[in-house]
Structure formats: C-alpha cells, structure tokens
Amino acid sequence: MRRNPGHGHWTGHQSRLNRDLKNLYGSPGYAREELRAEIAGLIIGSEIGIGYDPSQHAAYVANWITVLEEDPLEIFRAAADAEKIQKYLYALKQEQSIPEGISLADAIKEYERRVRGPDSRKVLEQENPALVAARDAAVVQKRTERLQRELASQSAKHRMWR
C-alpha cells in the first residue's frame, strides 16, 4: 500500500516542529530529513493499518546508509524525531476533528459561518480539514438524496403512463 510521507515533512516547518528543511536533494541533511519522514510513515502506517511499501523510497537508501555510517547514533535521533512527528500529527488530528455526535446540518452551518469565499475555504482546509470534509460529505449526501427523490418521482410517473 502507498502512503504519503509529505505530512512528516510538513511538520518540520519552523512554526511546527522546526527542523532544518533547507537542505538540497542528495545532501546529508536532506537524507536525515527523509529518514525522519520515512520512520514516521512506517510508525503511522503500522498503527492505522495501511502498511508500508519500502520500494517507493529505495532511491534514498544509499543516502541514509552514508549518513548512518558517518554517525551511527543518527538512527536514534531520527527515530526520536519520527515519534515527535507521529505525536504532532495525532494531536493535530484530535484537535481538528468534528466532535462526536455533530449532525451534518450542524457541520454545514459551521462551515457556512466560517467560509465567506475561496480564500477562507483554503484557510479552513488548513485549520480544520475534518470540518470541510464533513461539510462536503453532507452536501454530497443531500444532493444524492435529492437525485434519488427525483428519480423515484420520474420512475413513478413513467410507471403511471405504461
């Protein structure tokens, strides 16, 4: 199964876990960051049951080996940072989830209260993706129900004219 280690890298921003993300591809610093994101991806993938596919990241292995040969203790620092990544993402998920029991109508109301245009939707997608997803699901559900009613009505009319 595939997964995206991008969220691991996202946590490195200075406003989050503040790791050095300015290293060039192929540099030891870049390899260290990739190692952290990969270990975090492995941990999270195992915990949520999506697994891990190492073949997607084989290109980085040579760089990781070089970094680890130069400093064998780097694996411990990378693992510790990976655990911080995992904890940060889990805490963020918990903060941004829809409270248990909120109705789809309430999700739509809260979304509409907070979103007043495309820029505010983008901001809300970053701040609370769970709310945006719940609102979008509610809209799809309402449209589906409306279409089902229309189809049922047309089907009834069609049967009546047979």
Same structural domain, 84 and 141: no
- pLDDT of 56 reads 67
Cα distance between residue 56 and residue 35, in whole Å = 13
- DSSP assignment, residue 24? P
pLDDT grade for 3, boundaries at 50, 70 and 90 = very low
- Nearest residue to 40 via CA among 71, 90, 91, 84: 84
Q: Which of 39, 74, 95 is the last residue of a domain?
A: 95
Do 77 and 23 belong to one domain?
Answer: yes
How many domains does one find in the chain?
A: 2
90/108 same-domain check: no
Q: Are residues 20 and 47 in the same domain?
A: yes
Q: Is residue 1 part of a domain?
A: no
One domain, residues 91 and 28: yes
Give the pLDDT band (50/70/90) at residue 127: confident
Helix ranges (H only) for the chain are: 6-10, 28-48, 61-70, 74-95, 104-114, 118-127, 129-160
pLDDT tens-digit profile of 85-112? 988 887 766 555 555 667 777 878 888 8
User: Where a domain ends, among 95, 119, 149?
Assistant: 95
Q: What is the pLDDT of residue 156?
A: 67
Q: Is position 143 within any domain?
A: yes
Let me know whether 69 and 89 are in one domain.
yes
For the whole model, what pTM was predicted? 0.55
Same-domain pairing of 45 and 69: yes
Looking at the chain, the whole-number percentage of residues with pLDDT higher than 90 is 20
Q: In this structure, are 51 and 17 located in the same domain?
A: yes
Same domain, 122 and 150: yes
**Structural domain of 123:** 104-160
Residues 49 and 78 in one domain: yes
Q: Give the domain-ending residue among 43, 69, 95.
A: 95
Are residues 13 and 77 both part of a single domain?
yes
Residues 61 and 43 occupy one common structural domain: yes
In a domain, 151, yes or no: yes
Q: Which helix (H) or strand (E) holds 97?
A: none
